[in-house]
Amino acid sequence: MTQFVYLIGIGGIGMSALARYYNHAGCKVAGYDRTVSKLTEELEKEGISIHYEDDLSLIPKEFFDQKDKTLVIYTPAVPKEMRELVYFSQNGYNLVKRSKALGVIASGKVCLAVAGTHGKTTTSTLLAHIMTSSGAGCTAFLGGISKNYNNNLLLSNSRYLVAEADEFDRSFLQLFPDTAVITSTDADHLDIYENPDHFREAFTTFASQIKNNGFLVLKEGVNIDITGTSAKIYRYSFDKVSHFYASEIVIGGDGIITFTLNYPQGRIEGCTLGIPGWVNVENAIAASAVALLNGVSPIKLKEALATFRGVERRFDIKVNTPKCSYIDDYAHHPQEIKAAISSMRNIFPGRRLTGIFQPHLFTRTRDFAAEFAESLSALDELILLDIYPARELPIEGVTSKIIFDKVRIDNKIQVTKDELMPLLESREIDALISFGAGDIDRFVKPITDLLNRKLGL
């Protein structure tokens, strides 16, 4: 029986949720991460021991003394040669990837899984909020921090489990859901999948793993082979007629959208989502489809949509005045950036839009430089940072300049992280959005504070 859980890469969003889960279950939990972060500081406050050097002597002694009762979980982002990982691998520990640990936990529940290149964090977080708010309840492993619950883990005795199904490293193939959403299959992680066909094939396999008599909720336009799934298939769309879609769409002055939700059994009129952006309404329709298919009442659903407060770093409004507005977003794929800019234009029509973008990974920059440039060209002004390498070593000739040179707008500048705040200090900002999955998140509070100071707030 597992009594001790050690996590290598404990500060990751998925790993930290597992750490919290096992800590709440009464296990002794500890872990390693490369850098201190807000998440690791929170975990330490919750009683979890964390160190930041690859050093076996820093691991609590009981994880060696109680080897047979110890589970070691690692993220595939950790280098294979990492000393702690090598030790546990060579010394007979129960060693599993994060995805395997989540799959084991999910196997004992009615699993509601949200997959897709874009939108899965907001969709899964909203679904978890609907299930919780409606009284159905759920345990939820989320890929972001829910602003309703200030956490990436929700705990419940409910039979339902909501999981963000991550396609990186084919992690989502450890899940065998009862209901699944696929929001998008735009190619990504080509360092893992090699080409777009292999990427889509993984989603085909994921769809085939839905349990008999289950449901598959597919976004209109998602094109995968679904002949291998026994699930009942439903389609959803933002505003095109489908099994689930929005109509009578009205955008308020604050960007909040009111709409009618159409579904196979009828219409739910006067729905509002508690956060702005058409792309979030699209995500809400996917989450609503899963909730309705699993017995949530239309009245409870409508109430939950209105009280949703969003996810940190997912189209996250930090400043919103007629003079200056600032939104931070996790977007790190060309299609995500395109959708975020489109939503900004929708909410702030006629305003001058400045974007700060930090590319994430050398391989993604190399593979999608032209597509990034195309999406970023929809800005009025671009501030481009250096590539955040994450788990990768540099690739010769691959820098953010290969995006910069292709961006078609005249008002563009490349800066280092050290140069960013002085640059913003010297500029008049109308509407600003920051994008990226790297450490650009560390600038969100300084930027927010700077803009509030300029506004006299």
Distances, alpha carbon 138 to alpha carbons 134, 161, 174, in Å: 10, 5, 20
Please give the pLDDT value at position 457: 84
Residue with token string 């047979």: 68
Q: Give the domains, in start order, of the chain with CATH numbers.
A: 4-97 (3.40.50.720), 107-306 (3.40.1190.10), 316-455 (3.90.190.20)
Task: Give the helix, strand, coil percentages of the chain, each rounded to 5.
Answer: 35, 25, 40
Q: What are all long-range contacts of 203-206, with beta carbons under 8 Å and residues at least 24 apart?
A: 203/115, 203/167, 204/228, 205/173, 206/115, 206/165, 206/172, 206/173, 206/175, 206/180, 206/182
Please give the pLDDT value at position 272: 98
This prediction's pTM: 0.89
Distances, alpha carbon 74 to alpha carbons 8, 29, 61, 434, in Å: 5, 13, 19, 30
End-to-end CA gap in the chain: 54
Please give the pLDDT value at position 187: 78
> For the chain, which ranges sit under pLDDT 50?
none
Task: Give me the phi and psi of 68, to 5 degrees please.
Answer: -70, -15
Please give the pLDDT value at position 196: 86
What distance in Å separates the CA atoms of residue 237 and residue 235, rounded to the nearest whole number?
A: 7
Contact predicate 387/360, CB 8 Å: yes
Please give the pLDDT value at position 167: 92
Q: Is 117 exposed, middle or buried (0-12, 13-18, 19+ CB in 10 A)?
A: buried
Please give the pLDDT value at position 100: 97
Decide: helix, strand or coil at residue 131.
helix
What distance in Å separates the CA atoms of residue 334 and residue 401, rounded to the nearest whole number?
A: 16
Residue type, 273: L
CB atoms within 10 A of CB 32: 26
Which candidate, 354, 415, 421, 424, places its Cα nearest to that of 386?
A: 415
Contacts of 321 (CB under 8 A, 6+ apart): 455, 457
Please give the pLDDT value at position 173: 96
Residue with token string 């085939």: 208
